[in-house]
Structure 1
Amino acid sequence: MIRHLVLFRLDEGVERDDPRVVAGAEAFRALGGQIEELRFWECGWNVSDRPIAYDFAINSAVEDEDALKRYLEHPAHQAGVAMWREFATWVIADYPF
C-alpha cells in the first residue's frame, strides 16, 4: 500500500469561504466515492492556528504505484487539482506502508 498525503496552503488573501475554495473542497471530498483505486480517503480543514500549519489536508491510500498513477491521472482528480491551482499551493508525500 502507498499512503498519499497532501497539505494545501491557501494563497495570501484567500479565505475558506471564497466560492472557489468551497467548490474545490467539495470536489476533493467527492473523490473518495469516484475513484476506484482509492482504498482509503479522508480530507478536511486544519483546526490548528499555528503559523506553520497548512490549511487543508488529504490523507489517502492506494494499492501500489500503478494505482497511484491511475488516481493522479483520473479526470475527477485532475479537475480538482485545476480548481485548487487557482488559489493554493501544496506539498505531497507518497510512501509505502
Structure 2
Amino acid sequence: MIRHLVLFKLNEGVSRDEERVRAGVRAFQALEGEIPELSFWECAWNITDRPIAYDFAVNSAVADTDALKRYLEHPAHQAAAAQWREFATWVIADYEF
C-alpha cells in the first residue's frame, strides 16, 4: 500500500470562506467514491493555528505505484487540483506502508 499525503497552504490574502476555496474543498471531498483506485480517503481543514502549520490536508491510500499513477491522472483529481492551483501551494509525501 502507498500512503499519499498532501498539505495545502492558502496563498497570502486567501480566506477559507472564499467561494473558490469552498468549491475546491467540495471538489476534493467528492473524490471519495469517485476514483476506484482510492482504498482510503480523507480531507479536512487544519484545526490548529501555528505559524508552521499548513491549512488543509488530504490523506489517502492506494494499492501500488500503478494505482497512484491512475489516481493522479484521473480527470476528477486533475480538475480538483487545478482549482487549488489558483489559490494555494502544497507539498506531498508518498510512502509505502
TM range (shorter): over 0.9
TM-score (norm 1): 0.99
**Matched residue of 1:52: which SS?**
coil
How big is the shift at 1:56? 0.2
- Structure 2 letter corresponding to 1:52: I
Structure 2 partner of 1:45: 45
How big is the shift at 1:88? 0.1
Over aligned residue pairs, what C-alpha RMSD do you find? Answer: 0.3
How big is the shift at 1:72? 0.0
Structure 2 partner of 1:15: 15
Structure 2 partner of 1:87: 87
State how many pairs are aligned.
97
- Give the 4+ runs in structure 1 shifted more than 3 A: none
TM-score (norm 2): 0.99
**Matched residue of 2:42: which SS?**
strand
Following the alignment from structure 2 to structure 1, what is the Cα–Cα distance between the partners of residues 58 and 19?
A: 20
Unaligned runs of 5+ in 2: none
How big is the shift at 1:24? 0.2
Structure 1 partner of 2:30: 30
